[in-house]
Amino acid sequence: MSRILNVAGMAAVGMTAANMLFLAEPGFASDLAADAGTLPAIILPGADAPVADEAAVPPDANGLSAKDDSQGIDESTPEPVTAESLADLVAATTPPAELDPELRCLAGAVYFESRGESLVGQLAVAHVVINRAQSGRFPKSLCGVVYQKSQFSFVRGGKLPAIRNAAQWKNAVAIAQIAREGSWKTRAPGALFFHARYVSPGWRKTRIAQIDNHIFYR
């Protein structure tokens, strides 16, 4: 990748209250395992209003593609020297002509959980989904993690809501690609859980990092 001299203008992200969609301030990425129904579930307070004059992009939530990488994400992967910042890398990341189901699920989690956060925060959320899929404690596919029962409350009827902000969706797709490729280190390595900083679930877990409005744990 050639050195990026001019950073493309990053789409503004923000949180607005409205109906039906739970978006920018997630509550819990809980530790409900795939085969145990005794642990706490995700709660996502907050909502987002549809953006005027933007066509909704309905996600395709079908066709799960399971992938089991027993090696996991190499959290020690160095940051690429040709990108001076994560924003540079996001700007330089070209979305695929067609999103595969797994990438769409991962981008959906980033978009609905953290599109109001910094890119660093969005990347950390993406890695939680990836880490879960590779942990052996959760479903083995990214879509399986996202659609796991009682985990992500933005999932409605087994589907993602419509995408209302094209610019923020593009960022979410880029972050999902970067996370899946392991091309930029997360600041919450190995995280499997997170919650909003304004709640106190009393988890007895190892706290890894606080990024924006989220606290991450393993």
Q: What's residue 30's pLDDT? A: 55
Are residues 84 and 4 in contact, defined by beta-carbon separation less than 8 angstroms?
yes
So what's the pLDDT on residue 46?
Answer: 36
* Rounded CA separation 63/66 (Å): 10
Q: What is the mean pLDDT of residues 123-127?
A: 98
Query: Positive or negative CA dihedral for 162, 26, 217, 38?
Result: negative
Does residue 47 carry a pLDDT above 80? no
Residue 195 scores a pLDDT above 70: yes
**Measured between alpha carbons, how far is 162 from 20 in angstroms, rounded to an integer?**
11
What confidence score (pLDDT) does residue 162 get? 93
- Residues 148-166: tens digit of each pLDDT: 998 888 898 888 999 999 9
The two tokens of residue 123 are: 């990347």
Contact 131, 182 (CB under 8 A): no
pLDDT tens track for 24-36: 334 456 544 444 3
95 Cα distance to chain centroid: 16
For residues 48-74, give the mean pLDDT.
Answer: 37
Cα separation, 151 vs 44, in Å, equals 10
With contact defined as beta carbons under 8 Å apart, do 179 and 186 qualify? yes
Asked if residue 192 has pLDDT above 80, the reply is: yes
pLDDT score for 28:
53
pTM: 0.65
**Whose structure tokens read 């409350």?**
153
The domains located in the chain, with CATH, are: 51-70+79-192 (1.10.10.2520)
